[in-house]
Every structure is written in structure tokens, then in C-alpha cells.
Structure 1
Amino acid sequence: MKHSFCIFFILAFTLIVTTTSCKKKIENDQVEVPVTLNTIEVTFDSIQIKTFFTKYPDLEKYQSEVKQLYRKHQFRYIWFDQDGLNEFSSLLYNKVNNLNSEGVQTSIPYKNILDTIYSNPQKNQKANVNTELLSSSLYFFYVDKVYKGIDKQKSKELGWFLPRKKQSYIHYLDSLLIDPSLINKKGKGVLEQYYLLKDILVKYQKIEKKGSLETIIIDSKIKSFKPGDSIATIAQIRTYLFHHDIITSDSKSSIYDDKLATGILEFKRINGFAINKTILPKHIRYMNVPIAQRIKTIMVNMERCRWISNDVIKAKELIVVNIPAYELTFFRDGKPELKSNVVVGKTLNKTVIFSAPMKYIVFRPYWNIPASILKKEILPAIEKNPNYLQQHNMEWKDDFVRQKPGSSNSLGLVKFLFPNSDAIYLHDTPSKSLFERDNRAFSHGCIRVAKPRELAAAIMKNDSKWDRDKIDAKMENGDEYWYVLKNKFPVYIGYFTAWVSPEGVVHFYDDVYKRDDKLAALLFENKAQD
């Protein structure tokens, strides 16, 4: 009898252990709930999710993500622990109430209900399905506004064809519930530039609270102001610097003294101007831009940052062109190795915002003239002047016209190809004087580079078969020569009218293609719809 009982006990124990292990494995494989997640072991009926969104229709757009979240957690409460609402729920509520500091102007759905819940946390110690689902919806609302931005289709309608980032915020929530401080960690899923702009935004919002200033008078007869000059405009400039916390006091003096000079040097440093004591009309025009306009510009560019994954900077090599800045930067190992002025497409031939991998460098290229230019410019010129092709070093090639290689070629002596459907590429140009202008939107859409030799050398720096002498030789002599890059790398053509350097220097650029107002209208229009 004892022997039979022992056998039965062993079999039963083995069955229990095996069943428990399998159950744990299934739960771990399917649910992936972190073992350190401090939640209560209480569940609710899945049908209550549908009921909730019927009751709260303004949150309905988050229903799919909320369903996925609770399916992942087997419909357990995740916003409650043994003491009631958990730490992260309150932090999230505070974050949502301060969306303005994130560059977001929007109304908060069901704010009065949320205020009641979070202003009386002691009354919400017992798990409640409405509070639970409101908290989850609030999380996805915050993610939507701060991390995601407007949807992909709308950004495309605004001419933005750079790839949008892809990231799951359902799994990210587990990390935040375990360590709420992670929500304040910079760089999580958002371009680092976002946080630099955010710091500038907070600064400008503080300035805005001080009130507006009178427009600084610009006398068209005066070309510059220098130390020692005395004029009423100097007093206005001094007030501007004091209002913006660049100098510590405002003497109201109209004399350009040493204290003002110190302020002017700092003003130029933090705003990206050449650092000297001379005040030019362009500096005064910069000062006269209303602070509200600056804030709008910063918010618009924070929105653009939401569309780009922080992973782009992980590429070993990378070219970035910022159209409004008329600037190209070549990065290696995350650090800028070369900067060059560029000329971009004029308003009627806008340079497209997109990305593609750099694959070829072509020395002494032919310029195969696009059909549109051939029809609108070349053929009419030939009719007027039969010697036009010869005079411009051009020739017919089958049924199109091309310009032969050489120093007068419109593409210069080298071009950089990252094949794309818009036929946009980087190239040299014989028209070097254009790089000295402030406004450099002159091309038919391609991007002219002020430092093409240096760019070729930077790209081929680690190729043992190439050096500066060989690059120069290929540019100056011989026929067209195509070189296939061993290591392809991404080229990003972007559009940012506000950009902050790692040192905190903010640069505002002219909205050359008038894109800011269109995006701002969409963002602030949504405020009334939320």
C-alpha cells in the first residue's frame, strides 16, 4: 500500500511540475511580461475595452494599440499596484499637462476627468477599469503627440519623403513602468536635435512671458554700427539684449560702449553669426523677428524631428544636406568631417526631401541634358544661334543633347550619384560665385557643392587605391570615369529652418520653399480637432 502511494505521489508531483513549467513557458513566449513589473494580479474582461471607447470616443484612435497592450498583458491592470495608481501614472499625467514645453499645442481629451482622478490619488487606490483604460489611452496620446507626430501620409503631402521612423511603444511602456525616469532620458526614439530645440523653446517661452518689444529702427542710410557710435537705435538694441538675458542691465544709453560690445559678441555667438563687434542691418532684422514667430519656427522643426529615427546617426558614414541652410555635412563615426556650402533648387524646381544610398563618383562627367531643359532652353537657343551647341561644348547623342566633359561643363569636374527617381545628385559647378550669396536657391533641383574635391577626398579617405593626387588627376584630365564605391552610405536631404549645434548655438534659416506655414497650419489646425 505504501509502495503504491509513493508511486502515485511521485507521478502526481512530476505532472504538477511539468504542467507548471509548460504554463510558465507559454506565458513567457506569448506575453513577454517583465517579471519585475510591479502590478496587481487582477484582470478585467476584454469586452470592456470596446465599452470604454464607446463612452470616450475622442480617444478611439488609440483603441487598436490599447487592445494590443492588454492582449500582451493578458488583460491585467498595469497602472495600479498595491498602493493604488503607480508612480509612472502621475508622472505621465504631469508630462501631458506640460505638452507646451514639448512644442505641442493641443487640447487634452477628457482633461476634467483626468484632473479629478490625479488631483485625488488617495481616492483611486482601488483598481478601476475606466481609470486603467484612461491611463493607457493617455500614454498613447502622449506618444502620438511627442514621439510620432503627424501621420506619414500628411508629411508626404508636405513634400517630406525621408523615411519615417518605425518603433513600437507598447513594449517601451513596460520599461517606463519599471523605471519611470526613462521618460526623461534624451534620445529614446527621437532625434537628438529634438531635445536641443526643446531647450531653446523653453528659453524663448520665458522671453515671451516678458512681453513684446518695439521694432528696432533701421536707418537705410546707415550701413553699420561700431563701438563709439551714438544713435537712438543703439539704445533699442541694448534693450533687446537685456530683454533676452544677454546683458544683465539696461542703461538706456545710446552710445555703443564696451558693455554693449560684450553683449553683441554673445548675441552673435549664440545665434550663429560671425563673431565681431560690427552691427549690420541683417543683425537688426534678426532681432526684429517677433518672439512668437521664433517659437512657431522651433515647434515646426521639433515636429520634423519626430519623423526621423535617432538611428540615422548610427551610420558609419553619412551625408546630410539641409536645404534652408544651404549646407552639406559629411559625417564619419558620428562626427562632422567636412562642411560645404551648397546651391539648391530654385522655387520652381524645388530640391526633393528624401534619402538614398550613395553609390558612385563620376569624374569629368558628361551632362545629359534633361528633356525639360532641352525643350524649354536648349532648342530655342539653337533656333536663335545655330552655333549654340559648339559654343557651349555640347553635342547631339542619339536623340538627346549632352555637354562634353571639361571645366565649362555645368556639372563641373565631378558628380556624386545616389540613384533616385527624381534624378537628383550632388555635383561640382563652374559658377563658383553663387556660393558667396546668402540666398543660394538657383539650380534646376540638383545640389551644387562648393567643395567637391574635398568631398571626394573625404568619401575615399579610407580607400588605399585613392589619394588627393589621383583624385585631382581624374578631375583635370581624361574622359568620363565612373568609380563604384565599395561601401555605400546614406545621403539625407532634409529641411530644417531652425537647427541647434551641440554647443547650444541656434541657427534660424529663411523658409526658402515656404513650408513652415503649411506645417504650422496643419499642427495648429489639429489643436481645434483634438
Structure 2
Amino acid sequence: MRNFTSLSVIAAVCFMMLSFGSSAKEIHIKSKTAKSGNIFLAKTYDAKVGVDVVAINEFYKKYPKLKKYQNDVLDLYKKKEYSSIWYDDKNISEFGSLLYHKVRLLNDQGIKATMPYMDAVDDIFNENVSNKLPQIDTELLLSNMYVFYASNVYSGVDPATLKQIGWFLPAKTISYTKILDSLMVDPDRLNKDENLLYGQYYKLQKVLKKYRTIEKNNQWSKIDIDSANYKDLKPFDSGVAVQQIRHRLFVVGDLPQDSKRNVYDEEMMAGILKYKQRYGLKLNYTLTREHIDQMNEPIGNRIKTIMLNMERCRWIPTDLAKASEYVMVNIPSFKLVYVKNGKYELVSDVFVGTRMTETVIFSGKIDRIVFSPYWYVPQSIIKNELKLKMAEDKNYLADHNMEWNGGNVRQKPGPKNSLGLVKFMFPNPNDIYLHDTPAKSLFEFEKRIFSHGCINVKEAKGLALAILKDNPDWPADKIDQAMSGEKETTCMLKNKIPIYIGYFTAWVNDDGEIGFYPDVYDRDPRLDKLLYSDAVASK
């Protein structure tokens, strides 16, 4: 926020100079009340702030519902040498008032948590309240308010809970003291700071505001169809439903205007393709009943989906997207991207694990590419599938180019190998990797959950070419020869490539367009219950 007056800037500088002063100081303040725009300034009074361990312990006896923040608050004051954080030489600092304003607008961050004793905090900033709290209570309430805000906005669910819900991507580590220092130097970072939150978070936040406006203005009109006698809508069909769909496409941004025509014309065809692309649907002009049902999902559900994915973004280390090279797979969108020097080098469709063999959410480092690989059949597949098939057909292994190998079964290299002609290895306890597949027809499905947990890549050869593009030892013709299916050949990478397997049911692209994807493993309801259960008053 850049609209501070020069007087405010001077006050902020004075605050920073004073914040490293003595542990107990006399603050003589003239009674004064002020308000600047939407920023609340607390009424002032004479008091003495004595912040020490004893005072902090006594505070939590008085406010026990805040005890979960005690260690973090204590750490703040240790780093500040037990000096006041929230008072300058006149009153509560303008940054304290600004932070309070942000806490009151947590809903804009997709957060429903409420800080305990928020009514007492409200009174601090209410100029009509004459019976003010002791200044030490005010000081410590504001410190707890800060930790409450930072933990909800910048951190989200704690690492232990993330593991319980099966999210094994690297946990973000933050320092509340360092964050506080950075915010005080530049309060505008409260609005946006990609060093604190993964950039996708702010894109989702912008779309959240848009969808809430649509909801507020009652623009999410239901598409009326005769469910019993519905026939697929196709180009040049007409009717009330066509007019309603056109309006919806305009409202969400898939059409630049609403002509209000009830004919499925060429303009609407372009909007339908854009809509289907955002939802990860097969790109054609036909609108089935399932598509209409999807459009008729309440906008409140879409808003909740955005909020849940904002929470997931809080867990992501902010340096992820700053890596010079990485691969990212988003399970719900069935997409893989290979990014190098900030640019998308390759985007590919993928299919992932079934509900019984879910692909795990985790990260690793690709250290080698194996061309024309053997497939070593997992023991679970041998036990649950192969033994029965071998019992029914004694030639099953030979017919499928398989052989016994030291008590195990492996499939020989070749075009029909289950791993296709190339795999990308990154050591992990789940034995998951990326690989090609001979089953190319499976990429025609919209919901692609077919594997035993590994990630099958449609453009696997393209990924190998992109990764090795600048490697003189692996020109394209050598890669072609290695993928002939004759013998297994391994290429060890000079630089390991980070790979992140994530789970986002909503994602905003660089053009600001949001995509919504199927919650294939039913993770959204579980996260919803964890975050927004009525039994949880705060995080």
C-alpha cells in the first residue's frame, strides 16, 4: 500500500528505530484519535509497556485460547529484545492498524478462521470504547493477532497434518520474525509478496474476487433443460438453454460479449472450446447432459474449490517456480509441464493411478533416462494378477514378451512394453516414475486414472528430446536409435531435474483464465472438512 502520508512514513521509521530499545520503557502519549481511509488507528493513552517472560506467561493465563501461539510470540520478543512491537512514540503504529484491517478481511484470502478474543481486539481500534485494556494486554493481543494472521495466510496447515493427508511435497519453512521485519519495512507486501506466497496463490485470489462478484450479482443463472428428454446440443441448435449457456460463457469470460442469441452459432462455438479447455474436457462442440450438469453446479462450490486450492498454495515453497529447470505434474488436470529458464518447453497429457493405486503427491529429482527399458513387474501385480493369468494360459509370459529373471518377472524391451520406449527415473520409496506407454488410446478419455501409480506420459519422447536438447552426447538421432526397442540404454543426467507431483483442482494460467479439474481422489471434501468444519473455530 503506497498511499501513506509522509508523516506516516516518518512515524514508521521512528517505530523501527525504537523497536530495538530497552525491554521496559515509558511511553508518554497524548490522547488522540485518528482514522486514515480504511486503516483504523487506535485511541491512545498514557501507559507503560513492560514486556518480559513473566508478563507473557500471565497474559496466557488470562487469554488461554491463544496459548497455541505462545512459543511463537515469545520468540518474537526474544528477537526484539523484549521491546514493544506495536507502539511508536505516539500510539499504536500505523502498521499495527493496517494489519488489523487485513485480519478483518481474511475472507478475501479465502480464510474463514476467527481469532479468539477478536472482540477485545476490535475494542482496541474502536474510538468509541473508553474503557481500554491495559497496554500490556493490547501489546500482546496484537502480537498474537500477527501470529494468527501469518500462520493462516503464509503457512496454512502444519507439516504434521500435511503428512496425515498424504501431501509429501517439500514443506515450506517460515520465520514469523523475519516476515514481520519485511512487512514493517514495506507494508505493501501484505497485499502481494511472491517471496512469502507461491505466485499461483495471488492468481487464485484475483479469480476468487471475480467469482464472488458473480455470486453477489446473481449472474450464475441455471441452465434450464428437460432432463428426461435431453438431446446433446450441437452447432446451430437453438433454444432457451442455448441463450442461457451463452450468458454463462460471457459471465465467466469465455465470450467477450453476450449477443443474447438463442442459436448455437460460430461465436458460441469458440466460447465452448475455451470453456472445455479450462475444464480439461475433450475439445469438441457437443454439449452433453453431463456438461450441462457441470455448468449447473452452484457457484458456491466453485468458490470453495478456489479457496481450497489457495490453501494448497500456502504449502508450496516460494522458490519452486524460481528453479532453472523442473517438471511438474498436476494429477487432477492430467497434465505434465517441463519448464526451463522460466518457459514451458513441453506440455503433455498424462494418465495416473486408479483410486485403488493412487499416484502419491511428493517430489523427487530425475537423475536418469532409460531408453527401451525392461519392465520389472511389481510383486503385487504378480500376486494379484499375473499368477491367475499364467494359471489360465501357460504361454501367457511368452505371448507378452515376458520372462522370469531371478525369481521375478520382467517384460523385455520393445514397442509393446508396458513402459513404452522410455522412462524417467527419480529414486523414491513409492517406486513411482514417469514413462511412455503403448496404450495411446487411453489419452482419449477425459478422466484418465488407469495406472498402478506411475505417471504415463503421452509426449514421453518429446520430454526426452527437450531434456537432452542441449546435451551434445545425446543428439536426436542417438535418442531415436536408443528408443528402437532393441536393448535397454541408460542416460545419466549431468544435472538432476526437480519433479513435483501435486494436486490442484483449480489452476489459473498466465492469461488469468481459471481451469477447474475433477477431484479424482476425493481430496477436496477432506481438506474442506479440515479447514472449514463448524467444529473448528480457528486454525
Where on the TM-score scale, by shorter chain, does this alignment land: which range? 0.7 to 0.9
Q: State the one-letter code of the partner of 2:55.
A: Q
Tell me, yes or no, if structure 1 residue 86 matches structure 2 residue 89: no
2:57 to 50, 67, 70: 50
| Unpaired segments ≥5 residues, structure 1 | 1-33
Deviations 1:167-192 (A, max 9, x none): 21212212222321221233132111
Aligned position for 1:9: none
1:400-411 superposed matches below 5 A: 400-411=408-419
Quick one: which amino acid aligns to residue 98 of structure 2?
A: L
1:145 equivalent in structure 2:
152
What are the superposed Cα offsets for residues 297-323 of structure 1, whole Å, 9 maximum, x if unpaired? 111111111111111112211000101
Which residue number corresponds to residue 25 of structure 1?
A: none
- 2:400 aligned partner, one-letter code: H
Tell me the SS of whatever aligns to 2:50: coil
Which residue in 2 is equivalent to 1:12? none
2:167 aligned to 160, 184, 189, which one? 160
CA distance in 1 between partners of 2:249 and 2:282 (Å): 17
1:393 aligns with 2:401: yes
Aligned to 1:496: 504
What secondary structure sits across from 2:188 in the alignment? helix
- Cα shift at 1:38: 4.1
Write the distance in 2 (CA, Å) between the matches of 1:329 and 1:107.
38
Q: Which amino acid aligns with 1:153?
A: A
Identify which range, 449-458 or 234-243, moves more after superposition: 234-243
- What letter corresponds to residue 153 of structure 2 in structure 1? V
Task: Determine the C-alpha separation between the residues in 1 that align with 2:211 and 2:307.
Answer: 11
Structure 2: gaps of 5 or more residues? 1-12, 26-48
Q: What secondary structure is seen at the aligned counterpart in 1 of 2:361?
A: coil
Residues in 2 aligned to 1:48 and 1:131: alpha-carbon distance in whole angstroms: 12
Partner of 2:455: 447
SS in 2 for 1:330: strand
Work out whether 1:462 is the aligned partner of 2:470. Answer: yes
Cα offset, 1:96, TM superposition: 0.7
Q: Does 1:419 align with 2:427?
A: yes
Preserved CA contact (<8 Å) 1:85 1:124: no
With structure 1 as the length reference, what TM-score do the two structures score?
0.87
Residue in 1 that maps onto 2:183: 176
Determine what percentage of the aligned residue pairs are the same residue: 46
Q: What amino acid sits opposite 2:158 in the alignment? A: D
1:3 aligned partner: none
Q: CA deviation at 1:282?
A: 5.3
Compute the displacement of 1:374 (Å). 0.5
Q: CA deviation at 1:217?
A: 1.7
Structure-2 change in CA distance of 1:422 and 1:505 (3 Å): same
TM-score by length of 2: 0.86
In 2, Cα distance between equivalents of 1:339 and 1:252: 36
| Structure 1 position 131 matched with structure 2 position 138 | yes
CA contact (8 A) 1:272 1:505 kept: no
- The letter of the residue matching 2:169 is L
1:226 aligned onto 2:232: no
Q: Who is 1:64 aligned against? A: 71
Q: Which has the higher helix share?
A: 1
Determine the C-alpha separation between the residues in 2 that align with 1:377 and 1:492: 30
2:235/2:265 contact within 8 Å kept: no
Question: Structure 1 residues 356 and 245, CA, compared in 2 at 3 Å: closer, same or farther?
Answer: closer
- Aligned residue pairs: how many? 496
Q: Show the 5 A alignment for 1:238-253.
A: 238-241=246-249, 244=252
Whole-angstrom distance in 1 between the partners of 2:352 and 2:283: 27
Whole-Å separation in 1 of the counterparts to 2:454 and 2:250: 43
Distance 1:451 1:382, change over 3 A: same
Superposed CA offset, 1:118-167 (max 9, x none): 12299799992111111111010001111111111211111111111112
C-alpha spacing 1:268/1:124, structure 2 compared with 1 (3 Å):
farther
Distance change (3 Å), C-alpha of 1:526 and 1:473: farther
